[in-house]
Amino acid sequence: MKSKLIKLVIGILFIVLILYLYPIGKLVFSNVEVTKALLWDEYYVKVTSDKYELDILKDYMESKGWIENESKRLGGLHIFERNGEEKGILNTAIKTIVVDGKLNVVSFIFRFLN
């Protein structure tokens, strides 16, 4: 009984780890600049130029049909609209994972500590 429970817990942890690492791997091993976390509402960004992570996210959202409504912006909360629907994204929900082709180790480790 105890070994089945341990195997189940290890299996669940393995699945959660894969779901966490998949979007990061997508950034590292492809030309994608933005990807959304599978387990929570966070966006991972690859910075490869002089653009800021927020500018890269705005371009990504516009490519998906979302337009930022500057008049509704509240500090770090950016409001995007599409077809009457609103989506709010906080600056803190944007994580820079890859910088100039290299893994941003500080951000990666900090994510595990929080």
Residue with tokens 């299996």: 11
70-98 pLDDT, tens digit per residue, is 999 888 899 999 999 999 988 877 788 77
Length of the chain counted residue by residue: 114
Q: What is the mean pLDDT of residues 90-110?
A: 73
Query: What letters, b where the CB count within 10 A reaches 16 and e where it falls short, cover 48-59?
Result: eeeeebeebbbe
Q: What is the mean pLDDT of the chain?
A: 85
Model pTM greater than 0.85?
no
Percentage of the chain exceeding pLDDT 70: 91
Among 45-49, 56-60, 66-70, 92-96, the minimum mean pLDDT is found in 92-96
Q: What is the 3-state secondary structure (H, E, C) of the chain?
A: CHHHHHHHHHHHHHHHHHHHHHHHHHHHHCCCCEEECCCCCCEEEEECCCCCHHHHHHHHHHHCCCEECHHHCECCEEEEEECCEEEEEEHHHEEEEEECCEECHHHHHHHHHC
Domain ranges of the chain: 2-113
Task: State how far the Cα of 110 lies from the Cα of 106, in Å rounded to an integer.
Answer: 6
